[in-house]
Amino acid sequence: MPALSIISRSIANTSTRSNVSFASLPLFVPTIISEMGTFTRIQSQGLSAPPYILCFFTIISFCWLSDKFKMRGPFCALAATLAGIGFIINATTDTTGPRYFSIFLSVEIFASVALLLAWVANIHATESKRAGGYTVLATVGQCGPLLGTNVFPESEKPLYRKGMWISAAFCLLVAVLSVVLSCWLIYENKKMDREGVPEVEEFEETSVERESGRREKHRYVW
């Protein structure tokens, strides 16, 4: 199987893991806050907004930094690790303060999703390949919500321990997969360098090879 196809599936699989936590948060954050026992339903709706405001600035910052340093994987792994820590805190404490603070960390999984969307485009040299990559991402990645929307059942309230641990596990798996994929892409880039393959920004690979007789290759952003 070509390396690019395997890489596309790897990012799609990472997206699937990310979407398990990603899909559950918008639905259950107000419920989780209200089940802390301190806040009313209306207060819980209002208190669910500040974590997302922080996450908005995190997404802008991480995306800007990843563009600046031309790296996706490390920032994706960092965001997923922060989210995993948030879910672990929520799964291991009973008091309101730490549990509410943990939500600010848990929602950082949204930053991983934003970076993954950009990463798909960065590993494909042409528009047609990017379209195919996004098709794989959308098809495979959307399997995550099938689990994510069912990990906080009514029977688990008020602490929802099982859902927290499942979400934490998938967040940490996203971090691990991001690091593995980054290392793989670095290896592929170095392999092309060793083989003396010229680097080009964007092209239709088949037409370039046919007209010039040279093998040229787009370098991956890791």
pLDDT tens readout for residues 55-113: 999 999 999 999 999 899 999 999 999 999 999 999 999 888 999 999 999 999 999 98
Q: Classify the phi-psi angles of 73: left when phi > 0, otherwise alpha if psi is within -120 to 50, otherwise beta.
A: alpha
pLDDT tens readout for residues 105-145: 999 999 998 898 888 888 876 777 777 777 777 777 677 66
**CATH 3.10.20.30 corresponds to the domain 3-186:** no
Q: What is the pTM of this model?
A: 0.82
pLDDT tens readout for residues 193-211: 888 777 765 444 444 444 4
Provide the CA 170 distance to its chain's centre, in angstroms.
Answer: 10
Task: Give strand ranges (E) for the chain.
Answer: none
The answer to whether residue 167 scores a pLDDT higher than 80 is: yes
Q: Where are the chain's structural domains?
A: 3-186
Distance CA 14, CA 73 (A): 11
Q: Classify the phi-psi angles of 217: left when phi > 0, otherwise alpha if psi is within -120 to 50, otherwise beta.
A: beta
